[in-house]
A and B are shown apart, each in its own frame.
Chain A
Amino acid sequence: MDRQILLKNISVPGISSFGPYKSSGGYDSVIKALKEMTPEEIISEIKKSGIRGRGGAGFPMGLKWSFIDKKSTSPKYLVCNADESEPGTFKDRYLMEHLPHLLLEGMIIASYALGAETSYIYVRGEYKYIIGILNRAITEAYSNGFLGKNILGTNYSLDIHVHPGAGAYICGEETALLESLEGKRGNPRIKPPFPALKGLYGSPTVVNNVETLACVGPIIIMGGEAYSTIGLGRSSGTKLISACGNINRPGVYEIELGLSVEDFIYSEKYCGGISNNKKLKAVIPGGSSVPVLPSDLILKTADGKPRLITYESLAEGGFETGTMLGSGGFIVYDEDACMVRNTWNLTRFYHHESCGQCSPCREGTGWMERVLHRIETGEGRWHDLDLLVSIASKIEGNTICPLGDAAAWPVASAIRHFRKEFEFHIANPEIVKDKNHGAIEKYINVRSAV
């Protein structure tokens, strides 16, 4: 379970520079792919590997690549999604900071397989220093013949450019990202047409996450079949999990898919347990957009099986008792957390980040934020919980892009699993008016003791 594929060379000194990277076996996959393999063979290896997108949606990478319209006479584009703005997620930053060449390696092979001669990396504007690191790596790749005209003496040529964003979560959604790359507001497009047919500048385009693309080199070296045996069932390979919140060892960990959530939280190799010897209260395992689960349901499924970090196990139980792997942004809450305050906080995020195109999302996120705020500050009304559930259900599925769903799910799941806390807030305005009221459990204990 401690198989390292992406981060295996992370401690080699100077690994972010070309020299040390190359001498640790870096770029071997590019040589193999460009000199010995056809684009079709590459796509077939990726398909065999079973790898699914690491950006959040989990779509099979090989399948996505095979949708690209090869017959189209327009240029093809590969766009790397480095917008990383989902709260709890900071793994792409880690990869780009330490292993920029691993990303470039994957992008060169992917671009070759897709027939793209220009590719872009869309980096969130806040990652200013990362833009510098990427541009330095790109310059090194050019001067060593891995980018530019006739790479390695083949007749394949490729340019990669870094494109900065400017602060907008929505630009992580792939069609909003393309709009933004075209110099517009980040308003998601209606799909279909999917980017594989009409993407950047109306041309066939593949958008993949940083981590997904970083897996391409290793897959080409070991072969798709071998990669598919790593991990568990349909969750093949390893995954970067960025762990944060109330834990002893926050950070980015590469795990083999199939590791149990319990091991991940409590093992000294990973999160190292809950900080200050507190108890675990809740976890959002896949970035703020996926449903929150209370400690019992995150450690075990509803029918008592250990919960594993795989696409399937985390989703087991559907939205009643399950959640999603999402981007792998693992947010841990200890016993002191107020779930009402946290839900309000995340809803404020979605309200702030809604692009405003679709009324259910634009109005609904703001409405939910206001209702949650009044509950949290002791102004709640009994009818508010039904109102929240109703607003959430009316946003879900009724918007152009999934930001609406992403805003609705955390609210619906928090009320589903922590209803008592919401009710306590409404019933005890005098207690919750103090904004440092924290978790409600302590007040309930006090009351029952009286």
Chain B
Amino acid sequence: MSGFKVNHKQYEKEDRKVEFSSGTIQKVRQIISRYPEGRSASALIPVLHIAQEELGGYLSVDVMDYVAGLLGLLPVEVYEVATFYSQFYLEKTGTYVIEVCRTGPCSICGGEKISEFIGEKLNIAVGETTEDGLFTLKEVECLGACGYAPVMQINTEFYECLTTETAGGIIDMLRKKGEKKEGSRWTDKFF
């Protein structure tokens, strides 16, 4: 899809252990078992979601290589997929990824103002992350909630029928919460 960036610079392995816990490995096995024998590639998208959530919030080359090994794929087969889908992040993101819908129905109901307002409030442009690493602002295409426009999604949550006041309130609330991300991981919903 258009707009993705791949860094072709010389790559250095990360200075950390990139691997799942044994509990997560169990979950990965369970996902693989949903597909026929020899079709473990089908587990790639769900496993990448888990990897992104558990191994640092984005898909680094090490993370992708690790997933490739786990599913018996070539690394390039994983890169191909990771670069295609907009929910996979290839660069470090903030704790809260704010994704404001920019498509037609949201846009005629004030979506553009929401994104501008948040950008000004956080003092970042679309695509950037705040210096404290808390927020990344993105504009995304239709989130499938057009009747409740304008809409944004922050990590797992949908926020609908937004005004600049409610959007501001949500950001303040999250800032207060800070790094403490609440609740279970969304990929737990796969089970």
Contacts and interface: CB of A to CB of B under 8 A. Distances in A.
**A and B interact physically:** yes
A131 B84 contact: no
Contacts of B49: 125, 164, 166
B1 A355 contact: yes
Contact of A329 (B42, B143, B146): B146
Contacts of A128: 156, 186, 189
A182 B42 contact: yes
Interface in B11-41: 34, 36, 39, 41
A132 interface: yes
Given A88-B146, A168-B85, A250-B147, A351 B103 contact: no
A230 interface: no
25 contacts: A86-B142, A88-B142, A90-B146, A128-B186, A128-B189, A129-B156, A135-B190, A135-B191, A162-B190, A163-B42, A164-B46, A166-B85, A167-B86, A167-B88, A244-B109, A244-B146, A244-B149, A246-B109, A345-B102, A345-B104, A349-B103, A349-B104, A352-B2, A354-B2, A356-B1
Interface stretch (A183-191, A295-303, A394-402): A183-191
Given A135-B191, A242-B147, A250-B148, A184 B141 contact: no
B3 A331 contact: no
A146 interface: no
B42 to A, nearest CB: 5
B86 A242 contact: no
Contacts of B156: 128-129
Q: How large is the interface on B (under 10, 10 to 19, 20 to 34, 35 or more residues)?
A: 35 or more
Residue with the highest number of chain B CB atoms closer than 10 Å, among A87, A331, A333: A87
A148 interface: no
B108 A337 contact: yes
Contacts of B191: 135
Nearest to B153: A126
A319 interface: no
B85 to A, nearest CB: 4
B86 A166 contact: yes
A41 to B, nearest CB: 29
A201 B80 contact: no
Nearest to B88: A166
B44 interface: yes
Given A185-B81, A352-B1, 10 more contacts: A129-B156, A166-B48, A167-B86, A168-B84, A245-B109, A250-B147, A288-B142, A331-B105, A345-B103, A349-B141
B144 A90 contact: yes
Contacts of A89: 144, 146
A230 to B, nearest CB: 25
B86 to A, nearest CB: 4
B63 to A, nearest CB: 15
Contact of B104 (A132, A159, A346): A346
A353 interface: yes
